[in-house]
Every structure is written in C-alpha cells, then in structure tokens.
Amino acid sequence: MTQTASAPNSHVRAIAAVVFTLAQILAPLLPSIGIGNPVGEQSADTQTLITPAGWAFAIWGPLYFGTLVYAVYQLLPSYRDSELVRRIGWHFAFAVLGNALWVTYTQLWSLGFPSVLIIVFTLVNLLAILRIFVATPAFSLAERLAVVLPLSALAGWLTAATIVNIAAALNFHGIVLPASAPLISAAILIVGGVIVAAALVGTCGNPWYPLPFLWALFAIHEKAGRTDPDIATATIVAGLLVIATLSVTLASAERRKRYLG
C-alpha cells in the first residue's frame, strides 16, 4: 500500500517541480505583456548601500539553468524515486514557487514586507535541502552535478538576496537611519558573513553554498564600496571570513571527496 500510494505522489511532486521551475523563469517576462514593471525599475527607489551592482544579478541565468537541470533530473523515472530526490520532496517545488511568487509580487507591488515573507519562505525550503545533503552519506556523480551543485548555489544566492531584500523593504517603508546608514550596512554585511560561515560549518564544507554569497559581496564592494570605506572594509572582512571557513572545512580529504568527487 505504501509503495502504491507513494507512486502517484512522486509523479505529482515531479510535475509540480517542473511547472514551478518554468513559472519562476517566465515570471520576469510579465512586464513585456503589460503586467507590472521590471524588478530593476521597482527596486530602483529602494536600493541601499548593500544592494549589489546591477551586473551581479546576471547570476540568475546559471541559477535558472541549474533549477531546470534538477527539475528534469527528478522527473526521470530512474531518479524520481531515488532516496535523495524522495527526501528533498516538495522543498524544491516550494522553493522555485517562492521565486516565481517573489518576482510576480515585486513586479506588481515593489519590495514591501510581503516580499520579505516570500523570500524567507523560499530560503527556508532551500536550507532544509542543505540539511538533507548533510544527512546524506555519499553522492553519486550525477547527484553532485544535478542536485547538490545547483540547489546549494541557489541557497547561497537566496541567503544574500534575503539580507538585501530586508534592507530594501525597510527603505521602502521609510525605516531609515541616514546618519548611521554606512555603519549599520557594514555591520549587516559582517553579520551576513558570520551566518554564511556558520552555515558552512553546518553543511560540512559544502563549497557551492558560499560562492554566490561571495559574488554578491564582490558586487557590493564594486558599487558602494568604491565610495564608502566602511562598506569596502565590511565586504572584505565578510569575504575573508567565509573564505577562511571554507578552507578549514574543506581541509578534510573526506569532505572534499564528498562534494567534489
């Protein structure tokens, strides 16, 4: 009975994951048919000192591709009921649905607090997937490339995006402290670095998770860091902390083999 009942559920889950993956990719196109405004325009008035340079968001191209890879992978009969895919379950579908909802909401209503709730929902599901990776004894080559790499990278970017989104939402609602903004922003970046470093330890050195965060730090440094020394220092400190933690956690050959093969 259990196997019979789980088979339809795995089919529904697999199809939902594909549909939601396509939805997150197509949602940014809504302004082209007259629905809402592009995210870039909507966020222009809510940017803060920790908003990355515009070119940093090109990372969504590889991230979208990665979600497509996993969506196809988990749809294939030979992988759909694998232990790893089964344990990830609906977390992936909910994560990409969250991406689609976030883009749609932001294009219609900008970066208010509801956008924070949506992105936190997305991040929670991705962090749940990272915990599943930690509890998995070993990965096959296919799992490392089609599952661990793309979903870990997405979790890393959403970690950075959540921090940026919260700051933008505060700005959107007029909650700003102009006089101390650089110091507060710098402190937020360092706290973000501490959080990612701690997560690195918790994931046993998952190397794909911190890379998008480091990319975001670099983009912040190249934007606000060029004119504000506090931001420049904070991005460097946070980046070095993450890199040092990654180096220590991957010092073990067993951990390197686990994630890199």
Q: Which pLDDT tens digit goes with each residue over 69-119?
A: 999 999 999 998 899 999 999 999 999 999 999 999 999 999 999 999 999
Share of the chain above pLDDT 70, in %: 95
Distance CA 200, CA 193 (A): 10
Q: What's the pLDDT at 261?
A: 87
Mean residue pLDDT across the chain: 94
Residue range 181-215, pLDDT digits in tens: 899 999 999 999 999 999 999 999 999 999 999 99
Planar angle of CA 99, 33, 60, nearest 5 degrees: 30
Domain residue limits, the chain: 10-260
> Which of the pair, 17 or 77, is modelled with greater confidence?
17
Indicate whether 9 pLDDT > 90.
Answer: no
Q: Which residue has the tokens 């937020």?
A: 188
Q: What's the pLDDT at 2?
A: 40
pTM for the complete prediction?
0.94
Distances (CA, A) of 202 to 77, 134, 229: 32, 8, 32
Indicate whether 242 pLDDT > 60.
Answer: yes
Distances (CA, A) of 49 to 35, 162, 212: 29, 15, 18
Q: Decide: helix, strand or coil at residue 252.
A: coil
Q: What's the pLDDT at 43?
A: 87
Distance CA 67, CA 112 (A): 26
Indicate whether 4 pLDDT > 60.
Answer: no
Tokens matching residue 120:
């936190």
- Cα dihedral 184, 182, 162, 69 sign: negative
Tell me the Ramachandran region of residue 89: left when phi exceeds 0, alpha when psi lies from -120 to 50, beta otherwise: left
